């Protein structure tokens, strides 16, 4: 789909000059800092050097003191503690973190993750009963539970204490648990509300660790788990999330858990060179695959084992599941496109809601994201079984799925999630009315401009300015992610060096000339753009990020093309 290029407003003032001079950085780097609200030397230095010492006191979070008190009692009495989590990467890493932490400090601990196919998302009575049958006296949820009112009440009536640790949006009623730890609960004084589930789990471990008088560095061993879960959940990489991922990547690239090391090997990733992108596109899909197709318990086993051979075996099993998942993805996407084309009119529909019996519930969220790439509309995919639909929804910038679901709440059996990703359960007979209502909500909140994908550009660059010094300055913005994206640049009227060509599977490769030489360029999955390039005239315009490329032991700068146009803009 054609993208609208949006160049950020230029920032030229004394603050930019001050940042440039005091920090000895390229002027374009100073401008990007200003664009991101970093406008003092002190805040820039803190941004460039995130520190674990700057993590907030976990006891500021409402409910944390009560949670620590109940956990301390359980540890002292050797009560059975069950960590109850979700089946995605955030839930898997959250469960693994707390399981390892409590086990290593002498806790009597187990874990439970529901089966996606038979139990669905979140806490279930069946899951609680299984924990009771295993002897649990205290359940700590991670990455779920904030809307499980009936289930928490069942636990209380059956003598089971619960601590809710979650990061999802609460409903109007908060579960009546021993403690509820969620920075999004209304009135919570915690200064950062965008933690992933694994981030909240870490804060809980941090509070318990402090209560036990452990050295603060004791928790550093779990930062690889925190980084994987945080990056995979696509939460804003600012504040504590940025600290977690920065330090967690250091652990991943030096001394990760045996399971993470095994995943890196089976995914054919380069150990020591893992960044956020490798987590999102390499590690996370493999951890997710087993939970999408069945039980995520195997992924937890992988994360908690210290046996290298066992880890390699489990990682191999996850690799097989991921290949199966890809095959199901492909078939489901083909079927989904047929469904969309049957009814979709871009002039009428500002959203997409499609349903079919027996789509695999584990892949519909992925396919919904693929449909957004194609149609750029908030999308809900629903699979129907025995008269009940289970749906996954994905959104576009500017449209809050959770709020939209609330507008349709009377048609739903259950719903929950975030602004950009949500899930729902609905009676099959209500799907047509839901499609109509959801589209009415989308049409009221989305205008034509919102339905055009935007490509945000931080600054225009002269190709002569691209060098290793600039690249090194830009690396200080890492780790990249939501609300801290990799800086994007545009260069206009550039000339080609030689002819563009297609390499690999539909990747566009070419080189551009400047006064001092050439810059190699690669555009992944942009092969169809080759016809837009004029190799004979300097009338080509490129949008790109600046990366390093290593080939045959030689490291050089490379422009990673995000889009290309030719002629008049």
Mean pLDDT of the chain: 93
Dump pLDDT digits (tens) for 400-451: 999 999 999 999 998 887 788 889 999 999 999 999 999 999 999 999 999 9
Residues 172 and 307 in one domain: yes
pLDDT band at 293 (very low <50, low <70, confident <90, very high): confident
Given this model, what pLDDT does residue 552 score? Answer: 82
Both 422 and 487 in one domain: the answer is no
Note the pLDDT of residue 420. 84
Give pLDDT tens digits for 277-287: 999 999 999 99
Please state, in angstroms and rounded to a whole number, the distance separating the CA atoms of residues 200 and 186: 16
Looking at the structure, tell me whether residues 462 and 441 fall in a common domain: no
Q: What is the pTM of this model?
A: 0.91
Examine residue 339 and state whether it is found in any structural domain, yes or no: no
**What pLDDT, on a 0 to 100 scale, did the predictor assign at position 72?**
98
Q: How far apart are CA 281 and CA 283, in angstroms?
A: 6
424 touches 380 (CB < 8 A):
yes
279 and 137 co-located in one domain: yes
CATH of the domain at 183: 3.90.1640.30
pLDDT of res. 367: 95
CATH number at 361 reads 3.10.310.30
Structural domain range at position 494: 4-9+454-566
Q: Do residues 305 and 228 share a domain?
A: yes
Residues 272 and 135 in one domain: yes
Confidence of residue 295 (pLDDT cuts 50, 70, 90): confident
Indicate the residue among 451, 478, 494 that finishes a domain.
451
Q: ∠149-152-156 over CA atoms, to 5°?
A: 135
Is the pLDDT higher at 101 or at 363? 101
pLDDT of residue 12: 66
| Residue with tokens 């020591």, as numbered in its chain | 272
With beta carbons less than 8 A apart as the criterion, state whether 105 and 75 touch: yes
Assigned domain for 103 exists: yes
Residue 18 resides in a domain: no
Residue 227 placed within a domain = yes
- Provide the token pair at 446: 């989305």
Number of domains in the chain: 3
**pLDDT tens figures, 338-382:** 999 999 999 999 999 999 998 998 899 999 999 999 999 999 999
Q: Count Cβ atoms within 10 A of the Cβ of residue 363 and give its class: 0-12 exposed, 13-18 middle, 19 or more buried.
A: buried
- 236 and 350 in a single domain? The answer is no
Could you list the beta-strand ranges (E) of 97-153: 108-112, 138-142
Under the banding of pLDDT at 50, 70 and 90, the label for residue 229 is very high
Judgement on whether residues 473 and 359 belong to the same structural domain of the protein: no
> What does the pLDDT read at residue 550?
85
């Amino acid at each position: 789909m054609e993208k609208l290029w949006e160049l950020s407003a230029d920032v030229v003032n004394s603050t930019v000059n001050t940042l440039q001079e005091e920090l000895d950085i390229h002027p374009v780097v100073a401008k990007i800092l200003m664009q991101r609200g970093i406008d003092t030397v002190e805040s820039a230095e803190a941004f460039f050097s995130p520190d674990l010492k700057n993590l907030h006191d976990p006891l500021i979070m409402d409910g944390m003191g009560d949670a620590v008190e109940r956990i301390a009692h359980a540890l002292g009495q050797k009560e059975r503690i069950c960590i109850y989590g979700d089946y995605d990467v955030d839930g898997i890493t959250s469960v693994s973190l707390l399981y390892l932490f409590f086990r290593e400090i002498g806790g009597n601990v187990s874990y439970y993750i529901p089966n996606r196919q038979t139990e669905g998302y979140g806490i279930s009575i069946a899951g609680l009963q299984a924990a009771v049958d295993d002897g649990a006296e205290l359940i700590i949820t991670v990455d779920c539970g904030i809307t499980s009112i009936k289930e928490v009440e069942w636990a209380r009536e059956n003598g089971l204490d619960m601590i809710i640790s979650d990061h999802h949006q609460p409903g109007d009623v908060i579960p009546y648990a021993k403690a509820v730890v969620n920075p999004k609960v209304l009135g919570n004084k915690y200064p950062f509300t965008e933690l992933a589930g694994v981030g909240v789990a870490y804060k809980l471990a941090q509070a318990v660790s402090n209560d036990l008088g452990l050295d603060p560095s004791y928790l550093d061993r779990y930062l690889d788990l925190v980084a994987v879960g945080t990056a995979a959940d696509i939460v804003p990489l600012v504040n504590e999330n940025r600290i977690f991922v920065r330090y967690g990547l250091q652990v991943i690239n030096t001394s990760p858990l045996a399971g993470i090391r095994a995943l890196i090997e089976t995914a054919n990733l380069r150990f020591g060179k893992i960044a956020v992108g490798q987590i999102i596109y390499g590690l996370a899909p493999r951890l997710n695959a087993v939970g999408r197709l069945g039980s995520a318990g195997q992924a937890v086993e992988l994360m908690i084992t210290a046996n290298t051979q066992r880890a390699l075996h489990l990682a191999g099993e996850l690799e097989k599941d991921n290949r199966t998942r890809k095959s199901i993805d492909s078939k489901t996407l083909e079927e989904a496109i047929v469904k969309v084309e049957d009814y979709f009119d871009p002039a009428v529909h500002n959203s997409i809601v499609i349903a079919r019996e027996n789509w695999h519930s584990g892949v519909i969220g992925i396919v919904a994201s693929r449909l957004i790439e194609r149609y750029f509309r908030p999308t809900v995919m629903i699979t129907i079984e025995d008269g009940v639909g289970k749906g996954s929804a994905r959104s576009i910038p500017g449209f809050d799925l959770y709020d939209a679901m609330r507008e349709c709440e009377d048609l739903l059996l259950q719903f929950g999630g975030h602004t950009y990703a949500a899930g729902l359960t609905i009676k099959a007979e209500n799907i047509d009315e839901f499609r109509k209502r959801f589209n009415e909500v989308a049409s009221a909140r989305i205008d034509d401009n919102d339905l055009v994908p935007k490509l945000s550009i931080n600054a225009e660059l002269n190709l002569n300015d691209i060098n290793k010094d600039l690249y090194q300055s830009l690396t200080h913005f890492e780790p990249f992610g939501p609300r801290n994206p990799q800086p994007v640049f545009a260069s206009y009227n550039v000339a080609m060096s030689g002819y563009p060509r297609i390499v690999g599977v539909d990747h566009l490769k070419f080189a551009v000339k400047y006064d001092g030489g050439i810059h190699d360029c690669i555009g992944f999955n942009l092969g169809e753009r080759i016809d837009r390039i004029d190799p004979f005239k300097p009338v080509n315009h490129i949008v790109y990020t600046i990366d390093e490329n290593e080939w045959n032991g030689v490291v050089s700068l490379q422009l990673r093309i995000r889009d290309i146009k030719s002629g008049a803009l």
